[in-house]
Amino acid sequence: MAKPISIEVWNPSGKYRVVSTKSMPGTRWIRLLTDNDCRLEICTEAKTILSVDDILALIGDRCDAVIGQLTEDWGEVLFSALKRAGGTAFSNMAVGYNNVDVEAANRNGIAVGNTPGVLTETTAELAASLSLAAARRIVEADQFMRAGLYEGWLPHLFVGNLLKGQTVGVIGAGRIGSAYARMMIEGFKMNLIYYDLYQATRLEKFVTAYGQFLKANGEQPVTWKRAATMEDVLREADVISLHPVLDKTTYHLINPERLAIMKKEAVLVNASRGPVIDEVALVEHLKANPMFRVGLDVFEDEPYMKPGLADMKNAVVVPHIASASKWTREGMATLAALNVLGNIKGYPVWGNPNQVEPFLNESATPPPACPSIVNAKQLGLPSSKL
């Protein structure tokens, strides 16, 4: 017999049983479920990552929907168990769903939700923070101070890179990449070079307009360039931020050969997906190039780092916190809850999952729709006309 899983129960007499594998920020998501006749069970196990067996125990014999996390392995075993328990919906509290076997969900008729549209600015801000922290050696300097090593000002103490007037490179100029680019351009008057399969017209127009504004005020205008190849960005940029999707074509996008063509004092930032960087090669490059710096929010084998990375003073590493602003995390919890609630209630799927503001307005009732279901088309779910 499986070991019992500790839970916290809200609205015990609710008609629909919804399980959340983790406690999530805020309380609105709880109210939305319990006010709509859901019995909500929140796992309170003191484990960072639940196993498949743990989640099977949570699902039990009857379960209408589950809200899960990107650290969990959602495949045939869990989706078939959820189907047997009468469930029809699962939502990641994340925009990414690399942890989800969508085909397995399709086979079992389970709608898979995610939470886009609420992470753009927060993730871009974290990438910008990593860029500045790495360029100006902030973490090194902080550790130096805390160790009591500061004896007075010195000309060469923690000399880093000036960002103003340098070139920022963006690989993947979608919503987050473009938001990051705007922050770096407007904040530090950096020039832009970007690579994307699609032209970032709005971003180009912004840089052009901002450049004209600077020129009109007697300052050096900023410029933009759409690179023909990714290698052009790596060669030319002083700060490079990665914002691609993760698929077979972007696995180890940054490899030994591409690291070798970057500037010796470049800053590389990754707040997208860990496996886009060959982390072993990165460690070797950091060792060989002490003025090359990196800021990482994600890792190839999360939650672990490749051997040697933690020892690199020219690496700033944080534990996957790009979305960790209060507003964003509470919004993600709300969207995940509304994904499963909408499916339980038979609501259609929202027409544009990247425009979710109506669901986040706490002073209004959310639209009767599922904010984002990634396999809606495969399951034949109707689209909202709102």
Q: Residues in the chain with pLDDT < 70?
A: 1-3
Cα–Cα dist 321/298, whole Å: 9
State residue 322's pLDDT score: 96
Pull the structure tokens for residue 223. 């410029």
148: left (phi over 0), alpha (psi -120 to 50) or beta: left
Closest CA to 95 of 112, 117, 128: 117
Choosing from 17, 258, 273, 293, the catalytic residue is 273
State residue 381's pLDDT score: 96
State residue 64's pLDDT score: 98
Give domain 7-118+324-379's CATH number out of 3.30.470.10, 3.40.50.300, 1.10.1520.10, 3.40.50.720. 3.40.50.720
State residue 331's pLDDT score: 97
Give yes or no on whether 7-118+324-379 and 120-317 have one common fold.
Answer: yes
State residue 386's pLDDT score: 73
Q: CATH topology for 120-317?
A: Rossmann fold (3.40.50)
Active site annotation includes 186: no
Domain boundaries in the chain?
7-118+324-379, 120-317
pTM of the complete model: 0.91
State residue 3's pLDDT score: 62
Pull the structure tokens for residue 248. 């077979």
Cα–Cα dist 223/64, whole Å: 53
Q: Is residue 371 within 8 Å of residue 353, measured between CB atoms?
A: yes
3-class secondary structure per residue, the chain: CCCCCCEEEECCCCCEEEEECCCCCCCHHHHHHHCCCEEEEEECCCCCCCCHHHHHHHHCCCCCEEEECCCCCECHHHHHHHHHCCCCEEEECCCCCCCECHHHHHHCCCEEECCCCCCHHHHHHHHHHHHHHHHCCHHHHHHHHHCCCCCCCCCCCCCCCCCCCCEEEEECCCHHHHHHHHHHHHHHCCEEEEECCCCCHHHHHHHHHHHHHHHHCCCCCCCEEECCCHHHHHHHCCEEEECCCCCCCCCCCECHHHHHCCCCCCEEEECCCHHHECHHHHHHHHHHCCCCEEEECCCCECCECCCCHHHCCCEEECCCCCCCCHHHHHHHHHHHHHHHHHHHHCCCECCCCCCCHHHHCCCCCCCCCECCECCHHHHCCCECCC
State residue 4's pLDDT score: 72
Residues 34-89: tens digit of each pLDDT:
999 999 999 999 999 999 999 999 999 999 999 999 999 999 999 999 999 999 99
Cα–Cα dist 22/5, whole Å: 12
State residue 1's pLDDT score: 37
Active site annotation includes 273: yes
Active site annotation includes 330: no
Cα–Cα dist 84/63, whole Å: 9
